[in-house]
Structures are given as C-alpha cells and as structure tokens.
C-alpha cells in the first residue's frame, strides 16, 4: 500500500503525519504534513486533523488540510495475533495503583466527588518494534475501533485503537456516546451488569444530557446496550441532537470534553484530583483526536472525533501504555487493578 510506504518515509524523515481507520470502515486515511512546525487550533474552525490533550485548558495540535497531503486507500489485510498475553506482573505498579484507587474511594466517600477516573502508565520494553506491523495488527484485530498512528517530531509517536466516539458532526446534526463500565468478554454478549457499573455509566449519560441541553435541540438518548471492545465489554448509550444556531463545533467540544468517562464528577474537582494524585502526566491519553470540518467527497463540513483510549506512546524502544478506570464509592481496588491489566493487554497483544 502506498500509505504504508509513505508512513515509513515520513517517519524516517521526521515529518509529521497521521494515519487512521474509522470504526467498521474498510479504508485507511492519512494526512502527511508538508511542514514540520507545531501548529495549534483553539477555534476548531480550520479543516484538518486535531490531536488534543486531556487538559482542556491546553490547545489542540492541528495538521491542517492546507499544509498536508491527504490520502485514502482501501485495506485488505488480516494479521491476526496470538492470544498469549505477556503479562509482566509488576508488584510495585500494582501496589501503587491499589493505593491510588483506595485514596480515590476515600475521597469520594468524604467529599462531594461522585466519580473519578484514575489511571496509570505501564512501560513495556520493545526488542524489535515494527511500526507498520503493529498498525496492521491493530487494524485487523480491532475492526470496530478507531485505529491510528499519530506522529510529530516535537511531540512523539502515538498509536491506539479506541472504542469511544467523542463526536460525529454532520453540518448541524451531531452524535456522541456515553461509554463506561467494563467486564471481560467470555464469549457471551448478553451479560448482566452490576449496579456499580450501571451507576458509573449513568453518571456519564446524565452529564452528557445536561451539558448538551442548552446548546442543542432534538436531543435523543438511545437505550443502553452492551458493546465489545477487543477482549472487553462496555455499556454504551448513543446520544444524538441538532446544534442550535449560535453553537458550533467548539461549543460542543467544550461542553463534552473531558466527560466523566475519562475524568469524573464534578468535572473540575475530579480533574484537580487526577492531576494532583496520578503518578504520571496523562498528556494526550484521554484527550481526543480526529478530523474536523472536512469531507473529501463533498463540500460538507464533517467532523469525527474520538477519545484517546487504549493507546500508547513509543519512545526509545519503550512503549508507555495508558490505562484507567472509573471509581465510585462502590469500587473495589483489587478489581480496578485487574481491569487496568485487562485494558493494557489490548495494546500489549500487538507489540
């Protein structure tokens, strides 16, 4: 494929690029930047691809369509991966994460916090890393995810396969989702969910509804369903609506990001707790990424943004995998640790 050759050339030349496949789509798209400076957007009015951090006070990086070569190609590959999960049981990480979750539960019980998503970074040493091979494995094994490689020489190399849509905007209509609650997939889709997970996900749905009420009309909340994401199952509720005339993409992004699926409730308090207590800096994990204001086939201004989950950054032959989970008063710290182990295996399997 031409795209794969161009990825290697751009990466070797240290030129920025992004290559991605939308959920359940057969074609791969890419933007190869013709400039190597860092450019940002705060207005979300340009056309291009954004890569935004968790911290919603910081600007999003923009690869503008104007300064990029856009390519779209059909894929036909099936690179299946073996199921031997190389789980290096790291006792120190386990102790630290359990301690963090216990502290979070205590804080929720003693203060007015309802939910906080806490996370950790897992380092994996890479002996023979092949970017294209890893990307092909992500593409063929996570077909209903948004799969990507994003690179900028001044920021680094990121890869992921996220199950969570932040926003799909088609002119003035939009779609979003409330995604939370996790259990292992054991060959059954029709599973029973415990109250803890149902509540944890309902908090996200209620937040989304509240945030969108004043900036949209025709707000519709679908029935909650169980969805599969790799070896995991989540609870998902689709939300659709129409933007009011004085609202735009930026209004929508500001209203939603970060949702309680990756931050917590109340939002500002949860964010402060995360920044003060997690043992590393999230940077782009739980941020968002995707196309803004373009449609290669028409003059429509479409945007599709995804939450940066099930992702990793690669630097100096080490992968940093980022994983977290929603904590409420009913959480159990050992189970939360196990949930992060299951989530990190989604990236480990392709390395």
Ligand X SMILES: C=C(O[C@H]1C=CC=C(C(=O)O)[C@@H]1O)C(=O)O
What does the binding site for ligand X look like in residue numbers (CB under 6 A)?
Answer: 117, 119, 164, 179-182, 234, 261-262, 309-310, 323-326, 343
SS3 244: coil
Q: For the chain, what is the radius of gyration of the CA atoms?
A: 19
Task: Quote the tokens at residue 71.
Answer: 């390519």
* Closer residue to ligand X, CB minimum distance, 152 or 234: 234
DSSP state at residue 224? -
Residue 326: CB minimum distance to ligand X, A = 4
State the minimum distance, in angstroms, from the CB of residue 164 to ligand X.
6
* Closer residue to ligand X, CB minimum distance, 33 or 340: 340
Nearer to ligand X, 113 or 179 (CB): 179
DSSP reduced 3-state for 182: strand
* 66: number of Cβ within 10 Å: 10
User: In angstroms, rounded to a whole number, what is the distance separating the alpha carbons of residues 322 and 307?
Assistant: 13
Q: Is 290 left (phi over 0), alpha (psi -120 to 50) or beta?
A: left
* Bond prior to 258 in cis (omega within 30° of 0): yes
With 0-12 / 13-18 / 19 or more C-beta atoms within 10 angstroms meaning exposed / middle / buried, residue 51 is buried
Minimum distance, C-beta of residue 330 to ligand X, in the bound complex (Å): 13
State which residue, 255 or 307, has the beta carbon closest to ligand X.
Answer: 307
Q: Which residue lies nearer to ligand X by CB, 287 or 324?
A: 324
Nearer to ligand X, 168 or 339 (CB): 339
Q: Give backbone dihedrals phi and psi of 314, rounded to 5 degrees, phi first.
A: -120, 130
The smaller minimum CB distance to ligand X, of residues 65 and 108, is found at 108
Quote the CA–CA distance of 220 and 176 in Å, as a whole number.
10
* Residues 80 and 141 sit within 8 Å (Cβ to Cβ): yes
User: Shortest Cβ distance from residue 307 to ligand X (Å)?
Assistant: 8
Query: Smallest gap, in angstroms, from Cβ of residue 204 to ligand X?
Result: 7
Minimum distance between the CB of residue 268 and ligand X, rounded to whole angstroms? 18
Q: What's the closest the beta carbon of residue 80 comes to ligand X, in angstroms?
A: 23
Choice between 30 and 117, CB closer to ligand X: 117
Least distance from C-beta 167 to ligand X, angstroms?
16
CB of 340 to ligand X, least distance (A): 7
CA distance 138 to 314: 15
**Residue 94: HSE in the Cβ half-sphere, 13 Å Cα cutoff:** 9
3-state secondary structure of 268: helix
User: DSSP 3-state assignment of 252?
Assistant: helix
Phi/psi-derived region of residue 143, left when phi > 0, alpha when psi is between -120 and 50, beta in every other case: alpha
Q: Which residue, 132 or 221, is less far from ligand X as judged by CB? A: 221
Residue with tokens 């409330």: 178
């Amino acid at each position: 494929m031409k795209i794969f050759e161009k990825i290697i050339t751009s990466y070797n030349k240290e030129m920025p690029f992004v290559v991605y496949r939308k959920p359940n789509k057969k074609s791969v798209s890419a933007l190869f930047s013709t400039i190597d400076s860092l450019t940002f957007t705060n207005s979300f009015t340009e056309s291009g691809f954004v890569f935004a951090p968790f911290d919603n006070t910081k600007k999003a990086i923009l690869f503008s369509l104007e300064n990029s070569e856009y390519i779209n190609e059909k894929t036909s590959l099936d690179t299946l991966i073996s199921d031997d999960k190389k789980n290096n049981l790291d006792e120190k990480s386990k102790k630290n994460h359990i301690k963090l979750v216990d502290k979070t539960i205590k804080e929720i019980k003693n203060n007015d916090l309802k939910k906080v998503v806490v996370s950790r970074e897992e380092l994996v040493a890479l002996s023979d890393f092949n970017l294209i091979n890893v990307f092909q494995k992500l593409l063929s094994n996570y077909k209903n995810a948004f799969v990507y490689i994003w690179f900028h020489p001044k920021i680094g190399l990121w890869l992921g396969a996220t199950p969570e849509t932040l926003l799909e905007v088609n002119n003035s209509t939009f779609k979003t989702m409330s995604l939370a609650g996790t259990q292992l997939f054991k060959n059954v889709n029709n599973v029973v969910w415990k109250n803890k997970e149902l509540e944890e996900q309902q908090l996200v749905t209620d937040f989304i509804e509240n945030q969108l009420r004043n900036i949209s009309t025709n707000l519709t909340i679908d029935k909650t369903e169980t969805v599969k994401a790799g070896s995991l199952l989540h609870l998902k509720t689709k939300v659709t609506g129409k933007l009011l005339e004085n609202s735009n993409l930026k209004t929508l992004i500001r209203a939603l990001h970060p949702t309680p699926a990756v931050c917590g409730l109340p939002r500002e308090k949860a964010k402060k707790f995360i920044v003060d207590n997690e043992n590393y800096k999230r940077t782009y994990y739980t941020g968002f990424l995707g196309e803004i204001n373009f449609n290669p086939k028409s003059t429509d201004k479409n945007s599709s943004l995804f939450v940066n989950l099930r992702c990793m950054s690669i630097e100096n032959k080490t992968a940093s995998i980022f994983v977290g989970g929603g904590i409420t008063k009913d959480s159990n710290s050992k189970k939360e640790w196990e949930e992060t182990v299951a989530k990190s295996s989604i990236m480990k399997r392709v390395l």
